[in-house]
Structure 1
């Protein structure tokens, strides 16, 4: 089998990072390299041509997840044409939606990766990216009257609990109660 072109190698790497970003948000960072590569449509052996280690992939996939999430948030804010309150309301409504609850692979890396990041060494690049992402998200949620960190904690906690109770009426009740608490308060 011949060598792949540089362009094809870059495309393969991009595909692996995007796939890992989704799988890590859906299943956690314990997903095996073999499963990641299979989901990417590539061979296991190709992994080590692209990445020094699984940790290197976790770092890149975490950064990709936050970049993707930030882009989605910015799109939501831009749709509100400079209306800060409406933009924050849209962010809260989208975050605490049934669609977001049901699609962790495409959703918030804070809710999806928090436990994995807590179990990792403090000096990991993914942890730094995660911490910066949490801070940026909290900043975006701050208002004149409400701390963005408290709002983020409410949203994060509600999403995690709603996912854990999915299939019961309590799941949607949690999302609704958190949405109401955040939007009625600010």
Structure 2
């Protein structure tokens, strides 16, 4: 597996998420099919699927564009969750190695790695903040890595610091509801 290429794709995709439209947290949720119906996730009802033309606009490099992203239209560039399945083959037993590579490559951002089991699947999560200016603003990033039918799947949840206290729990809950 080409960890450097995968890292580049994840980092660029995460940075691109910062420019996506986003939303406020919701009490009501919906279970939505993702990735062509191959998986489901529970999201607040305000989240809508990002149209392909907007995906292309927000993620200009096609090789780093997620297959799918969800967002809320009424808050500008604040909260996004995106889904990508790469061509890289990976087993659940290899996730820790990949996560450690990311942790080292993101070391300037002080990432933390955690191991979770969700609906019978082992997954790794990488959390870090990406500074957006010199005034202390940042984007909270939570990436979840897993083996999806033997291929690397990553889900990237991003929220700006002004909405983090409201949405961080929403992102964690959504990632914890992933089923495939």
TM-score normalised by L of structure 2:
0.32
- Greater percentage in helix: 1
Higher relative contact order (CA 8 A, sep 6+): 2
Query: Higher Cα Rg: structure 1 or 2?
Result: 1
TM-score normalised by L of structure 1:
0.31
- Greater percentage in strand: 2
